[in-house]
Amino acid sequence: MDMQSSIVYLDYNATTPLDDRVLERMLPYFKQQYANPSSPHLFGMQVLEEIEFAQEDLAYLIGCRATDLIFTSGATEAINMAIKGIPEDHRKHIICAATEHNAVLACCRYLATTGYRVTYLPVDRDGMIDLEMLQESITCDTKLVCIMLVNNETGVIQDIQAIADITHQAGAWLLCDATQAVGKIPIDVKKMGIDVMPLSAHKFYGPKGIGALYTNPDLKSLRPLIHGGQQQGGIRSGTLNVPGIIGLGAAASIAKKEMELEKIKISKLREFLEKSLLEIDGVFVNGHLEKRIYNTTNVCIPDIQSQEMILALGNIAVSSGSACSSVTNKPSPVLKAMGLDDHHNRSAIRLSLGRFTSADDIDYALERIKKIITKFRG
């Protein structure tokens, strides 16, 4: 492979390439099995059955019942559905971590305009929630606590089970954004105490434009955001994205079988990459060094702007934070919440590895990064 002309992709947290096996499973549903699954005829019922199989595969991956899942266009819609659609009662207080994805933060900001009070929970320098502070922040008015499982920028993993215990003791519900975790690490929503959990297929080798929302059956039905033909129990109306759902199910099935082997391979590559980067003068890691997902490293390279590094890397795809906010050159709100000053914040890059990352990719990226640093530091 000619590394000079090929894309070396180290931005798996932004999106993953579609696995060929997933694509192969999806293709018939574009041309041969194209019936509307809501149709009453045999053709439609056959497609509906395949959707139910895909739903079972996803449920098996996260430890829930198939009937606990609602298909969406992705995690952002699922988050909006969960936060804006949670049943109304007397409680008007929401707690969310300051390091949540902007989809969660934006929904909370919106609800603040409708009479809700929102507490933004700080994190420490490692990006971790203070459980005592969470305990102190919860009141009898708290309805919802929003804490993500794996941070998309730093890979930091929160103790969701402990957070769930605190949340439930107060009678509140827990929304856990697991978009960066599903398909990468084991998840059991029941054991972990998660009440509402959004996810997106394109983060674990499925297609874009399809996601799902797990909802604890003990939670009363969510108020729908989309009204129409009463599909999915009226919670999310609209003709189902059949190829997308089939792809989501296929990606879930593959992840369930291959997750552990993938973790071993990717962990070794990330460890070598990070160790090599830390040998460069001044470089340091953002986020907890142990409570972190195995595919992600977020490092500061002092005195070099991350945008300059990204442009100089050319055919090597890395990022400076969340893909959803990378169009701006503002300091990362996540790193800012972790106490990083703007100077170092603007020098942070995220490298995230995945299923198709090779040792050659890592060697080539390290060689290029070191050359660029030498050139820029002059």
- Positions marked catalytic: 324
The secondary structure of 30-99 as a DSSP string is: HHTS---TT-SSHHHHHHHHHHHHHHHHHHHHHTS-GGGEEEESSHHHHHHHHHHHSPP-S--EEEEETT
How many angstroms separate the CA atoms of 216 and 219, rounded? 6
Whats the size of the chain, residue-wise? Answer: 378
Q: List the structure tokens of 339.
A: 């106490």
Alpha carbon 314 to its chain centroid, in Å, reads 26
Sign of CA dihedral 57, 195, 94, 293: negative
Angle ∠(261,262,266) on CA atoms, nearest 5: 125
Q: List the structure tokens of 142.
A: 């708290």
Q: List the structure tokens of 6.
A: 């090929």
Contacts of 324 (CB under 8 A, 6+ apart): 101, 102, 103
H, E, C per residue of 83-144: HHHCCCCCCCEEEEECCCCHHHHHHHHHHHCCCCEEEEECECCCCCECHHHHHHHCCCCEEE
How many angstroms separate the CA atoms of 254 and 204, rounded? 10
Alpha carbon 97 to its chain centroid, in Å, reads 15
Angle ∠(331,151,363) on CA atoms, nearest 5: 80
The one-character DSSP state at 266 is H
The candidate with the shortest Cα–Cα distance to 103, out of 233, 11, 238, 211, is: 211
Strand-pair partners of 173? 144
CA 343 to each of CA 270, 305, 335, 351: distance values in angstroms, whole numbers, following the listed order? 25, 9, 11, 19
